[in-house]
Structures are given as structure tokens and as C-alpha cells.
Structure 1
Amino acid sequence: MIIIAVALLVVLATIALALVFGGPRRPAPMSSISAPFAQVDFSDLPELSTFRAEDGQALAYRQYRPCTDTGSGSVLLVHGSSAGSASMHLLAKAMAAAGFAVYALDMRGHGASGQRGHIDRIGRLELDLEAFVHEVRPPRPSTLVGFSAGAGFALRVAGGADQKLFDRYLLLAPFIGDQAPTQRPRNGGWTEVGLPRIFAIMLLNTLGFRLANAMTVVRFALSDEASVSLTPQYDFNLASNFRPPRDYIDTIRRARQPCAVMAGLADEVFRSEQIERIVRKAGQDWRVTLIPNVGHVQLTLEPSAIAAVVSQLHNPW
């Protein structure tokens, strides 16, 4: 009994130390992610609208009305990690000019949607997405377009039980998984992850304890100035939900709606040249388009890249 008690005390002490001291460090600012937005004209950014989530929380989005009624349907844009709906502005404008009704979300935990960096439980983001579709009713055919971590979340939806919420999925520079061949160390310098804290929280979750899920486990490479308007860190719940499931191959395999993937070959966050191999390994024949000389965030800002994305929306999948 004494040995068991000592062993239990050691385990509890290890968990406590991992929780207290095993969090992520703050990374140095990564200018290639934040700096390009300084050149974007936000003067015509639509005002925020809100919809009511399943738990009663008012969540924010921006609506871009199509320039002409072409019957092209709608696009719902999901931003990348730490960002908000405004980061999709140039892409949204181009899609609206091409005849799509466009909606850009502030995902819960970002922008004007809830407490930044926090959600109350894993699975909350899927419920929010379902609530948006049921309340706002984007015109069909509808396409869910995600960028970076947002593309990882779009993949989560595409391979999940609610995949028929949308008619098509387009993944832009997607985060596929921590162990995927696309992964660079520390996401090219964009993130610092508190692995000891994550492992401790996962162990506590298996025992039925979730109070530590609100602790920070990921920090992003933002400057002090950028941290004011963006989301500099995620808690365990948000970091676990705003991404694909751990078994990304199975998730891709289970997707039945049409999907396509686009990325830049000069992506400094992910190894985009590995994407097609992953998709084919999962048995999917999705179209994978890699654009030369385009970096990670430039995929949503560079005019030629934006034109390629809009062209993809008009092409049959």
C-alpha cells in the first residue's frame, strides 16, 4: 500500500509540474504572417453581423453580397489560426465579384465571437457551424472554404457526421496534422506548443477531469501590436477543436462530398509538396493545385493566387 501511495503521489506531482511549468513559450514574431496585412485596404470591410449559437451566444460574421446574381451559390470562409473574418477580406471580395454570396466567420474564440483563445468544450465549433447554416441559410450550392488551421477544421467537417451541411469543400494551405508529412518544426516558427501540459491535460481527461482544459497550450508568433487585435494563444479545447482529428488519413477517407486542395509551393509553414501524397494514400482523387512562388498567407492576398482560388470555385470538381 505504501508503494502504491508513493507512486500515486509521484504521478500527481508530475502532472502538477507539467500543468504549471509545461506551457508554451512565447515565440518571436513571424513577420511573413502578419506584415503582409499592413498593405491591405480594409476601408470597405463589411460591418459585423451576428447569429445565435446553440448555447445562446451571439457569434460574429461578415457578409459580402454577390455583384451579380449568377446562381453560383455561396461560400463560407473560415480564417486561419489567431485570425478573424477580416483576414479573408480580399478573398471574400473577389468571390463576391465572381457572383458568390460570401460569408466570413469570426470562429468562436476569435475576433468578436466569444472569449478569445477559449471555447467551453471540444465539439463546440461544429455546433456553431451548424447553427450558422440553419439560421442564415446560405444559398445552395454551398462551399466551405478554410485557410490553414481553418482548412484543418473544414477537413474535420468534411470527414465528419455533418459533412452534408455543405455541397463542396475547398482546403487552402491546410493544417493536416501534427504528425503529417506536411508538418514543419514549430510550423515554421509560427507556433510554440506546450507538450508537457497537453499530455497532462489529456491524462486528466481520460480520468474524467476537464478543469485544466482552459489552460493555454499553444502560442502564436505575434508582435505585441498584433496581439491586441488577434488571438495570441489557444486553450486546450480550442487547440483540439480548430483542427482535423488526429487520424487525418481516416478523416480524409471518410469525406464523401467533393473536395479540392490548393496551396503555395513557397509555403513557409507547411510542406505543401506533400499534400497530394497524403490525399492519394487516403484513397481520394481530390484535385490538388500547388501554385509556384506563393507563400502561406500570400495564398489569400496575392492577386494571382486569389484569381486561381476563384477559378477553382467555378470549375467542376
Structure 2
Amino acid sequence: MAYEEVLFPVVFTGKKKYYGIPHESKPNFNKKPFIQEVEIVKRDHSTLFHKIGKHIIDESMRLENSCTMHQIIKDILRGSVKDISQTDLNDLIKTAVWKLDKDNKSVQHFMSRMWDRHTREEADAKQLIKKGLTPEPYLYEIPEPGEWFEFVIVKNDLSQKVGDKMEYPKVARQLGKKIDISYYLNSVVSFCACFINYEDIYQLLPEAVLKALKKLKDANKAKHNGVSGDNKDAGVADEDDLDEEDEDEIDEDEVVKIRDALAQKSAEKWVRGYIKELHTGPKKNHAIISYL
């Protein structure tokens, strides 16, 4: 643990991921939670994401809380995600930093698009000025390298790349662009699942974990041997190919990583199912259901 004092209550959400109320020289339940490696602390998430995360943590830290984490997640999703399509755009704004030397493909692609639009705006403005007209303020301002900027994710029927869906909030408002609700729902689903994926119902049998590990090793072996995707059987071991020597080579950390990933996937399935339940009934919200 990174925190060497007493944490109580405390919740562990994964390996080296936890949060709790810190007590240093004496008990003090009025302090802010100490949070270690839990996604809520990341600056680039939307306000919606932070609100849901803070609500989950606050509820689970209440001394009088008698609800399971499952019940807390259900209650919070019922209040925050059921009407997510009506969420204020300000709560969906995300942030990112543009660095010329950083290989962030989505941000770099988005900035390339913004430069093209900004260049066109400048050319149009010059033409208007020549005619004695006053051009409109630029919509597509370019941040300085290393500067943080705001964006939202909008629908794009021509591309599913995040870099093609990123848009400045003021552009989304002015041009009436529709928010990509599926993007935000998926981030909420993944985040909520991390609070419950440790529970026994999401833990796969050891056989399933080893099967997934074997599949990964086979894929890596095929890649190492230069096997093309068309020849799926080449380089792939038979069921009994994991001999004792292979078993000794199994990385325990790799097994833990795969087990946690499978548990997370199983928990995400439950969260998606629950969100769908919220939108079934006399007035089904087919739009939300289709996103999941």
C-alpha cells in the first residue's frame, strides 16, 4: 500500500487500487478519502464521470452505510444514467493536452482536423475583409503545444475513430451536433464495474483463466513465428501442448492480469444489463438500449 497510516473504512477495487478515510494521529472521519489508482482522480474525465465516481466513493465511505457495493452501484446508476441523454453538455466535457512529441493518436488526429478547419476559416475571413465585411470570430482555435483544451465526443456516421468524433464544446453547441451517448455510457460501465469485479460471481474458474492464457500464448507464438492471420491453425498448439516445461514458464503476474481482465469483462456485462433494465418498461428508451 502507498498509504502507511490507517484507512477506515477502506475499499479495495483491484491490485494497488483502493480508497479510504485516513486517520493519522487520531480518529478523524471528516477527512477527504485517500484515493490510490482509482480512475476518478484523473483530470481528463468528464464531470459526469467524476460525479458518479465521487457519489460511489462517498456512499461506500459512510459509517452508517449498510448497502453492498452492488446496491450502491444500482442506486447511483438509477439516478444518474437513466436519463443520461438529457445530461447537460457541460457535464460531458472532457479535457486533453496537446503535445507535439506525444503519440496520442486521437489528439493528434483531432488537432490535424482543427488545423485544416482553422486554415479555411482564416482564408474565408481574408476574403470577407477584402470585400469590406466583418468576419465571424473563429470557431476553431488552436491551443498552444502543451496546453489543455476541452472537447466532447459527438456522433460521426462516417467514422468511429475517437479523433474524428472529438469536437470543441462551442462548435457542438453552435452547429447542433449530437453527443455520442454510447461513448459516455461505455466509460461509465467500465468504471462502475471496477468497484464490483472482485466479487466471487465475476471470478472465472481456473480452467477458463488458463484457457485464456493459452490462447494468448498461442497468439504470441504465431506472431513470433510470422504466421499470417489467414492461416489461423499454423503455429497454434494442440490442447495437450502445454507440457510441464510450458506450465513452469507461466508468469503468475500474467495469470493475475488475465483473471482480473476477465472478471472486469464479466462485471461490465452485469452493469450493461442493469442499465438496460432501467430503460425497459411501459416507456422503453430504445435509444439508450441500442447504445449498449
Normalised TM-score (structure 1): 0.22
Based on CA coordinates, which of the two structures has the bigger radius of gyration? 2
Instruction: Give 1 or 2: higher helix fraction.
Output: 2
Normalised TM-score (structure 2): 0.23
Higher RCO by CA contacts (8 Å cutoff, separation 6 or greater): 1
